[in-house]
A and B are shown apart, each in its own frame.
Chain A
């Protein structure tokens, strides 16, 4: 299978667009046939549609990639699809309002709240689906786990009101944006590629200071994404240092101080206190 087929060429594709022809190669069908074996397929289609797809792909091969391809450090994937995806995506498409009953962290349930669904967001980290929606009464952007939604039904909404809400959402998303700056500690420049890979999932800009041979990464993110960035920073450890962003700096300081406390180590002393060895042997006995 060659991914650089001339049939995928951009000129052929854009020329074909006007004709309304649907072009699909055996590469793509083979991929689809393989993916249909995933348990998620049962939640994604009605039994009828699934049968039609299997019939249409009857002559195609299956990929044997799973024999030769290993995935490592992968989270267990308890949820790829959720039964609410199908109805909710249709409300989003129709710009319909919703009446939603949902549960929050402490178990409290909010009944029949009105709002406008905006997007369905999959967290690759938590492996879970969230509904991003606009809460009409609170005039706020909400993010609710699909598994915490008890009920959601469409509700008539004036299209002009929907557009107003969407534009307010845009503004509030923009207002949430923060910029922080992370410097790659120079002695780790050799690991540049690895470090940049781990920031590649953020909206960012890289600066290179040729004089000092130093790289800085400017990350733009929403306030609620700070926790994820923090876990990345701790992941990279001493290779990187936050140079702009007081919140992140304070949290890194707290993290390191508290971690050292757990280890029974002082931040200043070079040697490990003897009490720590005791802690280890005590742990062994359990």
Chain B
């Protein structure tokens, strides 16, 4: 069987979250570059997973998936898109067997032979009975992913579930652990493993405390919900960086309308896709807190390349490169992005801006925000009603929206070009609302 790819599901969910409600089936399918039939199949599959995991959600058959994925910040801090990572397909017989094995090893440490006997007597009829080899390979897998552990002692080996993390804690300590995982998964990156762990701890807590107030004391404002979808590629890229390997992928620039192309296995039906295959050497991954987006910075034939993670599909690892050469490319990049507000590698310029303090108000929220979000910039002068902020950045494109977000509390002084652009933009914005 070909390696299961989740590119389609990722693109699909991202588009669903971003453009909720905007398109009908045909429009949606067209934009994803898939057939309406594939669209329907994908939505059915995702619905099935979502329903199994969130039985409390609306269950009507014809309910749109978009409805299922509604985010109401006061109801729940559950990251609903997490279900993507639960979508790996597993055969019915295998999922029954594995859950049976784990449940058995939860109560006591058992040998492969004992587990085989247990399986043969408890698996539902109609399913093929496993042999010892299957059980051994299950155990090997479960040990590899760290879910079970082999007890010390002579053969035959005994295995038990590895739950020391929670079994050593009191109920009260378990609450502290749940809270910590919840807070860190919601405020730090990467987060997917944290959310998965949070899921497990949540079930455990609910088993002990019947009240839902036990598991949802926290809210987070404001989240970029789709950011966890992009973490799907993160570990593949980090692994490639670690091994100094090139990768290739089919890239769809976010500016093109289509964002996915089906992979045709039959060459006779191969179509021209709009995406382009890129071969490149990953150097760094960047998370942009401003928009909640991920970037890949790499070295390609034309020098430093920047890719938006959301445009990357069908990613595969290639050969590794020479260590010394790799180090050279790393330091070239480090030099280039030293002054990037986000990822711009343009020429460094010094931006100076005057920020005006709010009138008669304490605390000074303008100054607080500049200090909080102004990255490596410095306040170089303070006066009674205003202060001067100075920063060296690569190009002005990326810092501009941030400066503009302060409205009339920020006046760009230098460079003059940026100052002029700001004036022109404010004029346009003014014209939008003039007739109000």
* Cross-chain contact B161 with A23 (CB below 8 angstroms): yes
Q: Which residues of chain A are near B1, meaning CB under 8 Å?
A: none
Known contacts: A202-B222, A252-B432. The answer to whether A45 contacts B405 by CB under 8 A is no
Residues of A257-277 at the interface with B, using a CB-CB cut-off of 8 Å, are: 257-263, 265, 267, 272, 276
A105 CA to B362 CA, complexed, in Å? 7
With the chains together, A65 CA to B236 CA distance in Å?
A: 12
Contact B74 A173 (CB under 8 A): yes
A69 touches B168 (CB 8 A): no
B90, A11: Cβ atoms closer than 8 Å? yes
Whole-angstrom distance between the Cβ of B119 and the nearest chain A Cβ: 14
Q: Which of A11, A40, A76, A265 interacts with B427 by CB under 8 Å?
A: A265
Q: Which residues of A contact B362 (CB under 8 A)?
A: 105-107
The answer to whether A119 touches B235, judged by C-beta atoms less than 8 angstroms apart, is no
Q: Does A212 contact B (CB under 8 A)?
A: no
Q: Is A283's CB under 8 angstroms from B354's CB?
A: yes
Q: Does A84 contact B (CB under 8 A)?
A: no
Closest to B23 in A: A208
8 Å CB contact of A72 from B204, B342, B426: B342
Contacts of A171 in B (CB 8 A): none
**Residues of A contacting B145 with CB < 8 Å?**
5, 7, 25-27
- Give the interface size bracket for A toward B: 35 or more
B57 contacts partner chain A, Cβ-Cβ < 8 Å: no
Partner of A262, one of B142, B356, B429: B356
A252 and B173 within 8 A (CB): no
B129 at the interface (CB under 8 A from A): no
Report the Cα distance A99→B237, complex, angstroms.
51
A175 beta carbon closer than 8 Å to chain B: no
Rounded to whole Å, the gap between the CB of A242 and the closest CB of chain B is 8
Q: With A21-B102, A119-B217, A203-B73 given, is the CB distance from A256 to B426 under 8 Å?
A: yes
B53 contacts chain A at the CB level, 8 A cutoff:
yes
Does A255 count as interface, using CB distance less than 8 angstroms? yes
The answer to the question of A253 belonging to the interface, with a C-beta cut-off of 8 Å to chain B, is yes
Q: Which residue of A lies closest to B105 (CB)?
A: A21
| Interface pair B53/A10, CB less than 8 Å apart | yes
Q: Is the CB of B52 within 8 A of A2?
A: no
The minimal Cβ–Cβ distance linking B80 to chain A, given in whole angstroms, is: 13
B352 CB contacts on chain A under 8 angstroms: 283
Within 8 A of B (CB), among A1-57: 1-17, 19-32, 35, 38, 40-41, 44-46, 49, 52-53, 55-57
Kindly identify, within residues 195 to 227 of chain B, every residue whose CB is under 8 Å from any CB belonging to chain A: 196-197, 200, 203-204, 207, 209, 211, 213-214, 216-226
Which residue of chain A is the closest to B167 with respect to CB atoms? Answer: A22
Given contacts A201-B222, A280-B414, contact A259 B146 (CB under 8 A): no
Contacts of B291 in A (CB 8 A): 194, 197-198
- With known contacts A3-B231, A57-B165, A40–B88 Cβ distance under 8 A: no
- Please report the C-alpha to C-alpha distance between residue A81 and residue B132 in the assembled complex, in whole angstroms: 49
User: Which A-B residue pairs are the 9 nearest by beta carbons?
Assistant: A26-B146, A19-B103, A201-B222, A258-B408, A21-B106, A31-B193, A15-B99, A256-B430, A206-B22
Q: A21-B163, A93-B213, A267-B430 are in contact. List 13 more A-B contacts (CB 8 A).
A: A10-B49, A28-B196, A45-B176, A70-B337, A72-B286, A72-B287, A126-B368, A193-B254, A194-B254, A203-B73, A258-B407, A259-B422, A263-B419
